[in-house]
Amino acid sequence: MSQPDTSNNEALRQLMERHGLKQEHVATLTGYSVETVKGWFAAPQSTRFRMVRKPVLESVRRAIELGEHYNLEGVKIPKPKD
């Protein structure tokens, strides 16, 4: 069995680290449950693992961009860490 493509999962992880986002923030920004977000960070061989679809990754990126201009209720979008 081949390994799933985890590049979007890794890209989301890096984005979260760069901006100091928690899984709860990503859940709020995407509309997915925290349990689903946790599945995105489970080991690929785990039954809990879920792949991050590209539109989800793009929506988080866009929310971060907009966060500089708009107040996103319940989510504080921090500046990138230096």
In the chain, how many domains are there? 1
Q: What is the CATH number of the domain that holds 26?
A: 1.10.260
Does a structural domain hold residue 20?
yes
Mean pLDDT of all residues in the chain?
83
Does a structural domain hold residue 72?
no
Does a structural domain hold residue 26?
yes
For Cα atoms 13, 17, 18, give the angle at the middle one, nearest 5 degrees. Answer: 115
- Which among 82, 68, 81 is positioned nearest to 16, based on CA atoms? 81
- Of the pLDDT bands very low, low, confident and very high (cuts 50, 70, 90), residue 28 is confident
- pLDDT number for residue 54: 95
Q: What is the span of the domain harbouring residue 47?
A: 7-67
CB 63 within 8 Å of CB 29: yes
Tokens representing residue 48 in the block: 């809990």
Q: What is the DSSP secondary-structure string of 9-21?
A: HHHHHHHHHHHT-
Q: Write down how long the chain is.
A: 82
Does a structural domain hold residue 75?
no
CA 11 to CA 15: how far, in whole Å? 6
Does a structural domain hold residue 58?
yes
- pLDDT number for residue 20: 81
Instruction: Check residues 70 and 79 and name the one with the higher pLDDT.
Output: 79
pTM score, whole prediction: 0.77
- pLDDT number for residue 37: 97
- pLDDT number for residue 66: 76
